[in-house]
Amino acid sequence: MWLYVVAALLGLLLLRRWHRERQTVPQLSEKHVLITGCDSGFGNLLARQLDARGMRVLAACLTDAGAEQLRAATSERLQTVLLDVTCSKSIADVTAWVRQRVGDQGLWGLVNNAGIAIPTAPNEWLTKEDFVKVLDVNLLGLVEVTLSLLPLVRRARGRVVNVASVMGRVSCFGGGYCISKFGVEAFSDSLRRELRPFGVRVSIIEPGGFQTGMMEPAPLVKGFVRLWERLPAEAQAAYGRSYLDKYAKSSTLLHRLSSSRLSHVTDAMTHALLSRCPRSRYAAGWDAWLLFLPLSYCPAWLSDTILGFFLPIPARGTP
């Protein structure tokens, strides 16, 4: 008897959640959304999707070529601006540019999408500067952009959408990428709690493997070789040349297994921006749901064992 009651209540709760999440915010044509990293990948597709829905998209690109191509593929509503998230002056200039366009209405949505992944390799192969290069874009740039635009988002009682990764839950390889995504998770969590009293909602997007061009096999393998060649002879002997070759092959294989359907991620971003009841976290991709999220809840010895099957063994390591 009680089992049926619990099942019925659970069903009603899920139905209520589904109904609330399907409701969208009104007056989309009057809302401004700033998206970083719109030259390609998720940011580019999201900008085109929101523009098609009649929103006022402010697309921040790194290059003139990326901005020009996006403008050619969208309506006159969409406006582009050049933004280097590692440059404080560039962020300040874009903030002033956005303020002029949104006026007293404020900025409804901020999507922190800009990111890089290379250089990535075993941690011992990297220098501090290699880590800083990634952290400046993926974490520190995201933080500074958010802090600069928060007054405008708060005025609109709007949304902040930060792109993290399943690698922000399970660190699978060395370098600054996974570290930066763990940082995005932490920053977003604290920001969500701080801004809730102002009516601002903060969501985290956690994509799995997608073919965005960020980790193409050719430049990735070239980077591995370059990093390998600058290693001291003792480190090269410890890892062995076969380690380099197998590491490059495993990275290439992971890229091939990645999904080309970027809409799985941009649909989650769109829901976070437009739903009356957005979620705090959105996982996207089959590998996120079936592999990495379950691994993040496993004890360390189990997750290490499973991930160890995909990593080569150094020449002087213990199998």
- Measured CA to CA in angstroms, residue 6 lies from 1, 13, 19, 104, 277 at distances of 9, 11, 20, 48, 24
Q: Report the distance separating Cα 116 and Cα 251, nearest Å.
A: 16
Is 124 contained in some domain? yes
Q: Which domain holds residue 266?
A: 29-211+260-301
Is 319 contained in some domain? no
Is 48 contained in some domain? yes
Contact between residue 91 and residue 149 where contact means Cβ atoms under 8 Å apart: no
Q: Residue 18's pLDDT is what?
A: 60
Is 249 contained in some domain? no
Count CA atoms closer than 13 A to 130's CA, side-chain side: 19
Q: Residue 14's pLDDT is what?
A: 66
Q: Report the distance separating Cα 9 and Cα 16, nearest Å.
A: 10
pLDDT in tens, 178-204: 999 999 999 999 999 999 999 999 999
Q: What percent of the chain has pLDDT over 70?
A: 91
CB atoms within 10 A of CB 281: 17
Q: How far apart are the first and last CA of the chain?
A: 54
Is 220 contained in some domain? no
Q: Residue 31 corresponds to which amino acid?
A: K
Q: Report the distance separating Cα 315 and Cα 181, nearest Å.
A: 30
Task: Answer whether residue 7 shows pLDDT above 70.
Answer: no
Token match 């922190």: residue?
112
Q: Report the distance separating Cα 236 and Cα 245, nearest Å.
A: 13
Backbone angles phi, psi at 120, to 5 degrees: -135, 140
Structure tokens at 303: 């997750």
Is 38 contained in some domain? yes
Catalytic (active-site) positions:
177
CB atoms within 10 A of CB 87: 14
pLDDT in tens, 53-80: 999 999 999 999 999 999 999 999 999 9
Is 309 contained in some domain? no
Give Cβ neighbours of residue 78 (< 8 Å, ≥ 6 apart).
Answer: 47, 51, 57, 59, 70, 71
Q: Residue 215's pLDDT is what?
A: 67
Report the domain count for the chain. 1
pLDDT in tens, 38-58: 999 999 999 999 999 999 999
CATH of the domain at 75: 3.40.50.720
Is 273 contained in some domain? yes
List beta partners, residue 201: 159
Task: Answer whether residue 319 shows pLDDT above 60.
Answer: no
The reply to whether the predicted model has a pTM over 0.85 is yes
Look over the chain and give the mean of its residue pLDDT values, rounded to a whole number.
89
